[in-house]
Amino acid sequence: MANSISRRRFLAIAAGSSAALAVPTFVPGAVLGKDGGVAASERIALAGIGIRNRGGYDLSFMMKEPVVQFVAVADVRKDRREAVKELAEAKYGPGVAMYRDFREMLPRRDIDAVLIATGDRWHSVASIMAAKAGKDVYSEKPCAITIALARDLAEAMRCQGRIFQAGTQRRNVRNFRWAVELARSGKLGALRSVHASISQVRDSRDWLPAEPEPPKDVIDWDLWLGPAPWRPYNHRYVDGAWRGCFDFDSGGGLLDWGAHTVDLCQWANDADGATPVEFEAVDGSLLLGRYANGVKLVMRQGGWIGLGSCPVRFEGDEGWVETGDSGQIAVHPDSLRTKQVFTGFDNDDEHSRIYGPGQCPKYHVRDFLNCVKSRAQPATNADIARKSHIACHAAYISWALKRKVKFDPVQEEFIGDDEANRMRSRGMRAPWHV
């Protein structure tokens, strides 16, 4: 019976028991939800896994939300565990727990949701394990380093009934939403092509020189590697040099930007439940796709107007629109320009002014937290992330094979191509599995 009592139920029982005592007790109004506070029983208890640069940025927005109570951090690096603990306790007071191994944290029944901001190799595995432990998940992108893991992730969230938000926050950024709605409204005429900015695709199999491993409590190298193949320790990996390494990266780095921009192109083409049916890589900076409805997906590094990072462009037979992280929008003809009106947005985005509107996850975080409460699906749920990630991976496989490939969006496999289909998955180092 004790194990079946939820955290909120326990608090309610405890409150009832206290009321039976004859001793008067003072309870701060904020604890009861007065004075603009959120009652303790209604807060979302949040934990973090692998919180460094981007994760710390996400966490700064989550901690600004009154509904959040950050309670624990798990990280293989001692300095990161301690830094996040210090940050959180400056706001919430003592009591934030630290874990080296996130598997020791997940069984805690008082944790409602987790923020996962590890390297790419860990996102899907940690998300699936969190879902099986009954946690909702906000995961940084890329959410899966293979087609198979994108499928596994979506299936796990569905089977476990968990809320999942991919960190592709531009779905909740005003200028990108306006551009997508312009394309979907038909005001550009029949949609002909959607353009996604990408990084240069690369695929390194080299190892950095071996260095002595630090003590496990300082950096747990074996746990840092996780499901990735073993290789000797080098401090540069831990500091970010894992990017571009095939064993750790997603789709030759294509998903660094593509997870955002291809996702927006999918949305603009009403293709959230599909992918292109054909892929062809011209070179590492230009990859092409074709949807069943004839719309072309152009993944390119250059040729943009200059509206900030992560630009997208949607072209119809009567006009076009392009936008990026600066928040600026270019359209043709100019008559397409109308005022952007979206409910739920305000004008106090200090981080947007500093870092650029597209990089600010404020409303994306709020969307996730609202859905944790309501159990509705957020803007970039696991099924949406599944298809946009698979599209990127299929394009990468075409690049790696140096030839055109045909793809079945329903079966999520290459048509008549055993070599390409073998590249949909990778082995995992024991004992890791999903």
The DSSP string of 68-132 is: EEEEEEE-SBHHHHHHHHHHHHHHH-S--EEESSHHHHTT-TT--EEEE-S-HHHHHHHHHHHHH
Which is more confidently placed, 322 or 22?
A: 322
Is the predicted pLDDT of residue 239 greater than 60, yes or no?
yes
At residue 230, the 3 state secondary structure works out as coil
Instruction: Label residue 210 by pLDDT band (50, 70, 90).
Output: very high
Q: What residues contact residue 219 under an 8 Å CB cut-off, 6+ apart?
A: 76, 77, 78, 213, 233, 238
Query: What pLDDT is stored for residue 2 in this prediction?
Result: 37
Q: What percent of the chain has pLDDT over 70?
A: 88
Residue type, 126: A
- 254-291 residue pLDDT tens: 999 999 999 999 999 999 999 999 999 999 999 999 99
Q: Across residues 200-224, what is the average pLDDT? A: 96
- 19-39 residue pLDDT tens: 333 333 343 444 445 555 688
| Residue in the block written with tokens 């943009």 | 304
Which is more confidently placed, 26 or 395?
A: 395
Query: What pLDDT is stored for residue 340 in this prediction?
Result: 67
Which is more confidently placed, 11 or 231?
A: 231
In terms of Cα–Cα distance, which of 111, 156, 168 is closest to 135?
A: 111
Is the predicted pLDDT of residue 425 greater than 70, yes or no?
yes
pTM of the model: 0.90
Is the predicted pLDDT of residue 10 greater than 80, yes or no?
no
Q: Which of 18-22, 146-150, 322-326, 357-361 has the lowest average pLDDT?
A: 18-22
Query: What pLDDT is stored for residue 350 in this prediction?
Result: 57
- Domains present along the chain, CATH in parentheses: 10-169 (3.40.50.720), 170-203+249-343+357-422 (3.30.360.10)
Instruction: Label residue 314 by pLDDT band (50, 70, 90).
Output: very high
d(CA 86, CA 88): 6
Question: What is the enclosing helix (H) or strand (E) of 35?
Answer: none
